[in-house]
Structure formats: structure tokens, C-alpha cells
Amino acid sequence: MRAKEWAAREGLNEQTVWKWCRENRMPVPFERSGSVWLIHDPKYERPFAPDAGSRTVCYVRVSSSDQKADLTRQADRLKAFAIGMGVESPEVVCETGSGMDDKRRRLNRILADPTVGTIIVEHRDRLARMNAGLVESALKAQGRRLIVVDDSELDDDLVRDMTEVLTSFCARLYGRRAARSKVEAVLRAARDA
């Protein structure tokens, strides 16, 4: 779990937990993943043990066909992550398509297949640009789980919601490919103002 969440559960200030991580004084195991501190407290985490008969699928997506090299690198990283978690033979499903719509055949097939117990994605927006939380809740209700490897996206719900709304509007105005860069430009302008 993230350091912020662990601090809240333990009744500590998150700044204190980050300081302990930086100074290597944490009372429980921890690691740094990119810019995020992950706390592995045994009393809150249950070890990953896939159900018998359930499959683990690594879902990889890029937006356009000129990103094929990134698709391969993403697939390799996810497969290595899954093997590091103890999954013996993770399946990798690759897809090229927009994250703004639901016309992705391979993802729809994975979501509809009850034998898939765990879906692993690199970033939440690789699953869906908007409402990925709804997909995660639906999976959890079925006894399945979604694992996001790099969950270092925006923490603030209001900022994340605003980014999703701006992405949606820009996708309609400028086309789906240019939407992300337009949103980033709007957010930079808002921060600089």
C-alpha cells in the first residue's frame, strides 16, 4: 500500500512516514517504486495467491500503431512484474486502441471471462482513461482483482476528475489522439497562472 494510506491506518502524519522511508527507519518492509513509497505491512497485506483455476492476464494497450515498440516494452515489464509476484505463466494481451471508448475487443473479452481472476495493468489509464474505478469495483464485486503496477497518478480526486473531464472535452474537440497533449497544456497553463 502507499505510504499515505499506511500513515492514515496507523494514525501517523504522512510526512513522518515519508521521512522514515528516506532515512531507512521504517518499522515494516518498504520499497520505492518510481516516485511512490510502497509499504509492505504484513498485518494489512494478504499475500498474493491466485485461486486455483483462475488466470492472471497482463493487459497492455497503446493508442496508435506507431507506438508498437512501446507496446512490446510495456508487455515485457508487466510479464516480469507478474513473474516476480509468483505467477507461473501470466498471459499477455496486447491491444491498440483509444482509452476513451469501450470498443476494445480484447479488453471486453478479458472482462467478460470469469476464469480471469487477476488483471494487471501498468497504469490506470492503460485500462481506461475515465471511470477505471468503476471497472475495478465491478471486478472486486465478482471476487476478481485489478493490479495497477505504477499507481503514481494524481492523488487529489478533484484534480483527477478535472483531468478526466478535460480529456473528454478535448477528445471531442480536437480528436482522440491530441486530447492528452491538449489537457496537459491546459493544466500547465492553469498551474502557471
CATH number assigned to the domain comprising residue 71: 3.40.50.1390
Contacting residues for 87 by C-beta, under 8 A, at least 6 apart: 50, 56, 118
Q: Could you give the CA distance from residue 158 to residue 180 in angstroms, rounded to a whole number?
A: 18
- Average pLDDT on 76-82 reads 86
- Average pLDDT on 101-130 reads 85
Structural domain ending residue among the three candidates 148, 167, 183: 148
What domain range is 84 assigned to?
55-148
Residue 128: inside a domain = yes
- Range with the largest mean pLDDT of 17-21, 68-72, 186-190: 17-21
- Residue 48, pLDDT > 60, answer no
**What is the overall mean pLDDT for the chain?**
80
48-52, 120-124, 158-162: least confident range: 48-52
Residue 64 designated active-site: no
Q: How many domains, in total, are found in the chain?
A: 3
Residue 168: inside a domain = yes
Task: Supply the pLDDT for residue 177.
Answer: 60
Helix (H, G, I), strand (E, B) or coil at 91: strand
Residue with cell 505463466: 89
Residue 48: inside a domain = no
Grid cell at residue 16:
513522518
Task: Supply the pLDDT for residue 58.
Answer: 92
Q: Which of 33, 35, 54, 63 is catalytic?
A: 63
Residue 47: inside a domain = no
Helix (H, G, I), strand (E, B) or coil at 115: coil
Task: Supply the pLDDT for residue 16.
Answer: 92
Task: Supply the pLDDT for residue 57.
Answer: 92
User: Is residue 118 classed exposed, middle or buried when 0-12, 13-18 and 19+ CB atoms within 10 A define those classes?
Assistant: buried
Q: In the structure, what pLDDT confidence band is assigned to residue 19 with cuts at 50, 70 and 90? A: very high
Q: In the structure, what pLDDT confidence band is assigned to residue 72 with cuts at 50, 70 and 90? A: confident
Task: Supply the pLDDT for residue 157.
Answer: 59
User: DSSP letter at 67?
Assistant: G
- Residue 56, pLDDT > 80, answer yes
Q: Between 83 and 23, whose confidence is greater?
A: 23
Read out DSSP for the chain?
-BHHHHHHHHT--HHHHHHHHHTT--SS-EEEETTEEEE--TTTPPPP-PPTT-EEEEEEEESSGGGHHHHHHHHHHHHHHHHHHT-SS-EEEEEES-SSSS--HHHHHHHH-TTEEEEEESSHHHH-SS-HHHHHHHHHHTT-EEEES---S---HHHHHHHHHHHHHHHHHH-TTTHHHHHHHHHHHHHH-
Helix (H, G, I), strand (E, B) or coil at 58: strand
Do 7 and 66 lie in one domain? The reply is: no
Do 139 and 165 lie in one domain? The reply is: no
- Residue 49, pLDDT > 60, answer no
Q: Between 178 and 128, whose confidence is greater?
A: 128
pTM of the predicted model, to two decimals? 0.57
**Do 62 and 89 form a contact (C-beta atoms < 8 A)?**
no
Q: Between 112 and 178, whose confidence is greater?
A: 112
- Average pLDDT on 55-62 reads 90
- Average pLDDT on 30-35 reads 77
